[in-house]
């Protein structure tokens, strides 16, 4: 069997060694070369012909983003970003993902000797997954470019409308770009509250939400404990917390939880889907989108059995067709939709449901 | 799937890489701090310091070195603050940064030796003081505040918009971009300016935007298809001109930097060892070949073998040179810390000193490089402390108030020569003589007979200090002792030349490498010995009557000095073959640090390259050898340890007396 050839690019000798050693622990992986900055990386690519590159973004000489542009545009090699858990690191990472990096990992934030297993597991899985991704696919979504019309007009304060519908989204690898595609295309009067679990570390989610808020007609924010959930608002689960919801009186609020990771994730899509199915049942739509693994695949089934509607992003537009695939195989998906069709489909579905629900209310 | 773990070995390897890199970073931080003080490229220095600290922060976190992580994090905050607020960089601030570096180094030392490292609250408080000094310091790791209220710009974006070549309405495109950006904050500048009419010819515009949020969606806002081809954004960055310069520099560096590879020193040593064995093999083949040639002069086959051997020898010596080169590192690594040392010390001493370093690229064997730092530090400190005079004093005697110390390294044959030159007071032979008598090192009579040159060399005697006030830096008299012992162990030599009132020059001569040496082979009785050429001053032939007896010791007049003669035959207890009893003898004059001795030997063989084999401990009892080597003939030659021999000789003399 041919091993997956990996090239490690980082300006720190320690990080190069650390990442290489971790990757070498997996029999399917082989580190073929390392480079200490973007220029060397580009030089070595043609000799080493790696299948995947792990790329540090903060480097001297040619920085990571510049190198990334060349790597994805000229060499079409999938890239896993290695970023530091800082504001700057977060901004660079989001930028990098928009430019076509497949995924990212964060540099170890505690002594690696203590939890080498988690660090190693995440890195190895992400590198393996990335090796199978077609780079052109990420770029095809063109999410780097928001719709020409940008909602810069100040948004109205949420008018405190009653929350009748909830859309719950579970998404992972390739997610930031896909979310950045969907949310700006939703109308300001989108009739449902949107809860999103995007696998992302602490610190990155707030920035992600802020950036989205600047380009969307709907409001986007990082979910905070006790936030009232309004229609026309999207709430992104903060890193390292599970996102749940609860009905309080006539309204609904965000509940965050620090309970243990589910499927290796916190936030976990399964936790969100479970909570939404319990609280909103038939008034909910579950959407499972691009990402590796199977987080959310089972929870989606509970939305379906409680009377909600479930959809999955199609294989063609998924960067990694993992979570949706498992959900489909489990029979938990009612409709498979391509990324570009999701905004309109959601809007249309909610109209249907709203009218349907409206008539139901009348008949009661 | 099994658990991923690191073995002890892997962890210790990682730590090793960490420490190598971290020490390097601290050095670079010192260097950049001094660059910052010099003020050549403020932006660049600040940026580099931040990046180094960032790397150190991330790495120490990964290995769980909390104190290092905390301090480098705090330091990064400080640098960011300096950068963002254009805080004035004065000496106090530089001192703080340097102090920070020292503490980082201390932590490194602590962690490296597995000690319990405690956070130094004082330095943290000092940094905190600067952080709170003015404005609200912002934490680079803190998440950005929500909302854009507050009005004033907290960060600056330098945005470079590259127009789509096909766009034919660049000026309207530009106004659209500027309009959009103005929703994010304040437009500080646009170049070329909107009114200039240059826009339609431009292929890019540079916009500087002040915004409250460091995560503003600048790119998304202005990446307009059909108008914009690409967008480059620098957050908090310097000015456009600076950024452009940086890029040009990058391009220049690109072609210059050689690719590097980090290899464990052990592997190189192993390789060198094998090459050494090959060198022995080469001499063995050479020996056989010579015998064959003598036996069958006309045999074509022998001739072909000779040609093949010549070819192999040539390649082998190239291989040897190249392998040795792997171990060679520029002496700059040892020189690097001197700007800092000189700066700190001259401030402390109230002196003004310019440090000039020359020949930093001169390469030297790593094992020598590792130990040469300490003697150099002593010599440089000495030059600052005792050499260079106070500014007032200098002006009084008509010198420039600013003293000068020059560190110069150069190759000379197979030696490296390092000069430490100062234009200070120089040594005063009269005072040195007096001191020697006071300290009981010499009798008045002996002192009077010393030439000026010999008097100057007194400073290398242990316990000899010339400073009238013993300072804590270099005046304890131990410094020169360390210099001397290190030089001896490296088989190097040290010399001092000085002119009262004009300055001194200390010259260190060191072999380029310690693994393969050029040595002089000679016979004493029936035994073959060798001495490293780097320790040999001269080889001379003398007649019996050249030897004089002074104070019961055999001495020889050599140049204008009187040197002691050592009979190796006695020292090494070699059975006498009666050879060398003739009227003529060979004397090998050996320089040991600053002293000269004459070794009497029977018969010279000649110079040869020897691969040093370290002798096992049980050979240590013959403690006058520093190793052995095998010759092509299979004969073993002992390499003499000149310092040990002389020390023994001195003890023996003392015992006799």
**What does the mean pLDDT of chain A come to?**
84
Phi first, then psi, for residue B234 (nearest 5°) are: -120, 120
The question of whether A199 is a catalytic residue gets the answer yes
pLDDT of the residue at B448: 82
| Mean local confidence (pLDDT), A229-256 | 89
Under 8 Å between Cβ of B507 and B497:
yes
B378 is written with which tokens? 């002593």
Q: Report how far residue A53's alpha carbon sits from residue A76's, in angstroms, rounded to the nearest whole number.
A: 11
**Cα three-residue angle B644-B650-B651, rounded to 5 degrees:** 90
Position A144 scores a pLDDT of 46
CB-CB contact of A208 with A239 (8 Å): no
Q: Does A219 touch chain B (CB under 8 A)?
A: no
Q: Is the pLDDT at A109 greater than 80, yes or no? A: no
Coil, helix or strand for B569?
helix
For residues A19 and A8, give the distance between their C-alpha atoms in angstroms, rounded to a whole number: 7
Q: Which residue has the higher pLDDT, B276 or A291?
A: A291
Show Cβ contacts of residue B253 under 8 Å, excluding neighbours closer than 6 positions: A61
Q: Considering CB atoms only, which of A11, A111, A210 is closest to B64?
A: A111
Distance CA(B415)–CA(B430), nearest Å, equals: 33
Contact status of B59 with chain A (Cβ, < 8 Å): yes
Identity of the residue in B1, B61, B260 whose CB atom sits nearest the CB atom of A108 = B61
Nearest to A91 among B58, B214, B225 (CB): B214
> Is the minimum CB–CB distance between A3 and chain B shorter than 8 Å?
no
ipTM of the complex: 0.70
Which are the contacts of B221, defined by CB distance < 8 A and separation ≥ 6? A150, A152, A214, A215, B180, B181, B183, B184
Q: Helix, strand or coil for residue B614?
A: coil
Is A5 near chain B, with CB under 8 Å? Answer: no
Which carries the bigger pLDDT value, residue A197 or residue B579? A197
Start-to-end C-alpha separation, chain A: 64
Using a CB-CB cut-off of 8 Å, the residues of chain B touching A84 are 54, 58
Q: Write a three-state SS string for B160-227.
A: EEEECCCCCCHHHHHHHHHHHHHCCEEEEEEECCCCCCCCCCCCEEEEEEEECCCCCCHHHHHCCCCC
3-state secondary structure of B63: coil
Does the pLDDT of residue A119 top 60, yes or no?
yes
pLDDT for the residue B246 = 40
Active-site residue, selected from the candidate residues A26, A294, A295, A314: A295
Q: For residue range B419-440, list pLDDT tens digits in order.
A: 999 998 888 888 888 888 887 7
| Sequence-distant (≥ 6) Cβ neighbours of residue B3 within 8 angstroms | A117
In 3D space, the residue among A156, A199, A153 whose CA is nearest the CA of residue A179 turns out to be A199
> Tokens 């043609």 sit at which residue?
A46
Whose tokens are 């007979």? That residue is: B449
Tell me how far apart the alpha carbons of residues A332 and A305 are, in angstroms, rounded to a whole number: 9
> Is 0.80 topped by the overall pTM?
no
Per-residue confidence (pLDDT) for residue B212, from 0 to 100? 61
A245 CA to centre of own chain: 20
Residues B256 and B171 sit within 8 Å (Cβ to Cβ): no
Active site residue A295: yes
CA atoms within 13 A on the CB side of B412: 12
SS3 A343: helix
Residue B653: its pLDDT value, please?
A: 66
Write out residues 52-91 of A within 8 Å (CB-CB) of B. Answer: 58, 60-62, 84-88, 90-91
The H-assigned helical ranges of B39-65 are: 42-62
The Cα A182–Cα B57 span in angstroms is: 37
Question: Which pair of tokens denotes residue B85?
Answer: 């607020």
List the single residue in A with minimal CA-CA distance to B146.
Answer: A210
Distance CA(B229)–CA(B241), nearest Å, equals 21
- Contact status, residue B104 vs residue B30, Cβ threshold 8 Å: no
Contact criterion met (CB below 8 Å) for B463 and B477: yes
State both tokens at B45.
């220095």
Q: What is the pLDDT of residues A17-68, one digit of tens each?
A: 889 988 988 889 999 888 888 888 888 888 888 999 999 887 777 778 888 8
Dihedral pair phi/psi, residue A333, rounded to 5°: -110, 130
**CA-to-CA distance for B247 and B230, rounded, in angstroms?**
17
What DSSP element (H or E) covers A307? Answer: none
What is the helix (H) or strand (E) element at residue B250, kind and residue range? helix B240-256
Find residue A286's DSSP bridge partners: A168, A310
Cβ atoms of B349 and B386 closer than 8 Å:
no
Beta strands in A201-314 (DSSP E): 219-222, 233-236, 242-248, 251-257, 284-288, 309-313
Report CA-CA distances (Å) from A302 to A135, A263, A291, A297: 34, 16, 20, 10
Check residue A244 and give its pLDDT. Answer: 92
pLDDT given for residue B465 in this prediction: 58
Q: What is the DSSP string of A308-328?
A: -EEEEE-GGG-SSBSHHHHHH
Enclosing H/E stretch for B437:
helix B429-438
Q: Which of A172, A180, A252, A306 is catalytic?
A: A172
Among A95-99, A335-339, B313-317, B570-574, which range has the highest average pLDDT? A335-339
Find the catalytic residue in A37, A51, A199, A294: A199
pLDDT in tens, A140-170: 555 445 444 454 455 655 555 678 899 999 9
Which of A323, A344, A321, A353 has the alpha carbon at shortest distance from A169?
A323
Q: What is the mean pLDDT of residues A100-117?
A: 80
Report the first-to-last Cα separation within chain B, whole angstroms.
Answer: 79
Bridge partners (DSSP) listed for residue A4: A29
A58 as an active site residue: the answer is no
B383 DSSP assignment: I
Closest CA to A205 of A214, A192, A193, A196: A196
- Assigned token pair, B40: 């050549």
Low-confidence ranges of chain B (pLDDT < 50): 1, 135-153, 237-258, 468-477, 580, 619-621
A311 forms beta bridges with A287, A335
């Amino acid at each position: 069997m041919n091993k997956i050839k990996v090239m490690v690019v980082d300006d720190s000798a320690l990080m190069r060694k650390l990442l290489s050693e971790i990757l070498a622990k997996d029999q399917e992986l082989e580190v073929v070369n390392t480079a200490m900055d973007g220029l060397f990386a580009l030089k070595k690519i043609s000799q080493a012909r790696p299948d995947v590159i792990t790329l540090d973004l903060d480097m001297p000489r040619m920085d990571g983003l510049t190198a990334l542009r060349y790597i994805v545009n000229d060499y079409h090699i999938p890239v896993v970003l290695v970023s530091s858990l800082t504001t700057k690191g977060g901004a660079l990472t989001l930028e990098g993902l928009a430019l076509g990096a497949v995924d990212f990992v964060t540099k170890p934030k505690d002594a690696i000797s203590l939890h080498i297993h988690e660090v190693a597991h995440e890195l190895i899985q992400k590198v393996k997954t990335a090796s199978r991704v077609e780079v052109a696919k990420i770029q095809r979504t063109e999410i780097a470019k928001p719709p020409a019309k940008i909602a810069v007009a100040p948004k109205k304060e949420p008018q405190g409308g009653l929350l009748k519908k909830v859309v719950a989204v579970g998404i992972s690898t390739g997610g930031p770009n896909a979310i950045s595609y969907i949310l700006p295309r939703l109308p300001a009067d989108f009739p449902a509250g949107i809860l999103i679990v995007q696998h992302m570390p602490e610190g990155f989610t707030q920035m992600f939400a802020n950036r989205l808020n600047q380009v969307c007609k709907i409001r986007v924010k990082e979910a905070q404990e006790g936030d009232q959930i309004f229609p026309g608002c999207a709430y992104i689960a903060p890193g390292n917390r599970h996102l749940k919801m609860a009905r309080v009186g006539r309204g609904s609020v965000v509940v965050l939880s620090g309970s243990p990771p589910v499927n290796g994730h916190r936030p976990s899509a399964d936790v969100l889907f479970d909570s939404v199915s319990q609280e909103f049942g038939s008034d909910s739509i579950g959407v499972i989108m691009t990402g590796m693994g199977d987080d959310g695949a089972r929870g989606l089934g509970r939305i379906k059995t409680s009377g909600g509607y479930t959809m999955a992003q199609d294989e063609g537009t998924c960067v990694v067709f993992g979570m949706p695939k498992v959900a489909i195989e489990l029979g938990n998906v009612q409709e498979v939709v391509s990324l570009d069709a999701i905004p309109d489909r959601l809007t249309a579905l909610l109209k249907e449901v709203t009218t349907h629900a409206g008539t139901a209310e009348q008949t009661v | 799937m099994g658990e991923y773990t690191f073995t002890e070995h892997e962890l210790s390897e990682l730590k090793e890489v960490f420490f190598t890199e971290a020490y390097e970073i601290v050095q670079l931080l010192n260097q950049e701090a001094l660059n910052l003080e010099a003020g050549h490229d403020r932006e660049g220095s600040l940026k580099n310091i931040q990046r180094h600290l960032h790397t150190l922060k991330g790495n120490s976190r990964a290995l769980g070195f909390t104190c290092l992580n905390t301090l480098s994090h705090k330091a990064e905050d400080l640098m960011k603050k300096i950068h963002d607020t254009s805080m004035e960089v004065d000496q106090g601030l530089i001192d703080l940064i340097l102090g920070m570096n020292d503490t980082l180094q201390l932590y490194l030392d602590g962690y490296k030796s597995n000690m319990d490292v405690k956070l130094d609250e004082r330095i943290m408080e000092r940094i905190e003081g600067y952080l709170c000094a003015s404005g609200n310091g912002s934490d680079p790791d803190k998440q950005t505040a929500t909302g854009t209220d507050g009005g004033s710009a907290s960060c600056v974006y330098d945005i470079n918009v590259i127009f789509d070549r096909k766009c034919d309405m660049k000026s309207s495109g530009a106004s659209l971009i500027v309009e959009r950006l103005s929703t994010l904050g304040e437009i500080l500048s646009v170049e070329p300016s909107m009114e200039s009419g240059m826009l339609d010819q431009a292929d890019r515009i540079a916009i500087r935007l002040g915004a409250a949020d460091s995560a503003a969606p600048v790119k998304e806002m202005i990446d307009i298809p059909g108008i914009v081809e690409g967008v480059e954004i620098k957050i908090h960055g310097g000015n456009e001109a600076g950024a452009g310069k940086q890029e040009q520099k990058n391009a220049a560096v690109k072609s210059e930097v050689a690719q590097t590879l980090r290899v464990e020193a052990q592997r190189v040593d192993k390789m060198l060892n094998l090459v050494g064995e090959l060198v022995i093999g080469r001499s063995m083949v050479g020996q056989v070949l010579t015998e064959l040639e003598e036996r069958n002069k006309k045999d074509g086959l022998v001739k072909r073998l000779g040609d093949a051997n010549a070819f192999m020898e040539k390649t082998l010596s190239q291989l040897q040179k190249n392998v040795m080169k792997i171990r060679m590192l520029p002496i700059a690594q040892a020189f690097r810390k001197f700007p800092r040392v000189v700066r700190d010390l001259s401030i402390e001493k109230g002196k003004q000193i310019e440090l000039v370093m020359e020949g930093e690229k001169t390469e030297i064997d790593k094992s020598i490089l590792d130990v040469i730092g300490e003697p150099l530090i002593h010599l440089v400190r000495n030059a600052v402390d005792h050499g260079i005079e106070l500014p007032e004093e200098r002006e009084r005697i008509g010198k420039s108030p600013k003293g000068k110390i020059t560190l110069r390294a150069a190759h000379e044959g197979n030696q490296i020569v390092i000069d430490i030159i100062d234009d200070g007071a120089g040594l005063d032979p009269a005072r040195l003589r007096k001191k020697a008598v006071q300290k009981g090192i010499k009798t008045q009579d002996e002192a009077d007979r010393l030439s000026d040159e010999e008097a100057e060399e007194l400073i290398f005697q242990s316990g000899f200090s010339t400073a009238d006030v013993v300072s804590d830096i270099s005046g304890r008299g131990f410094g020169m002792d360390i210099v001397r012992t290190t030089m001896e162990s490296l088989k190097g030599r040290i010399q001092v030349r000085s002119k009262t009132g004009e300055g001194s020059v200390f010259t260190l001569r060191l072999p380029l490498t310690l693994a393969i040496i050029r040595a002089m082979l000679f016979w004493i009785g029936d035994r073959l010995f060798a001495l490293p050429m780097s320790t040999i001053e001269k080889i001379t032939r003398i007649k019996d009557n050249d030897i004089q007896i002074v104070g019961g010791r055999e001495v020889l007049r050599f140049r204008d000095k009187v040197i002691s003669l050592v009979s190796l035959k006695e020292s090494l207890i070699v059975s006498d073959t009666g050879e060398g009893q003739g009227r003529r003898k060979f004397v090998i004059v050996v320089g040991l640090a600053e002293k000269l001795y004459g070794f009497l030997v029977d018969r010279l063989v000649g110079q040869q390259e020897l691969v040093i084999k370290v002798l096992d401990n049980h050979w240590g009892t013959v403690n006058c050898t520093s190793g052995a080597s095998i010759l092509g003939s299979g004969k073993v030659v002992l390499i003499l340890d000149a310092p040990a021999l002389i020390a023994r000789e001195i003890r023996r003399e003392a015992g006799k007396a």
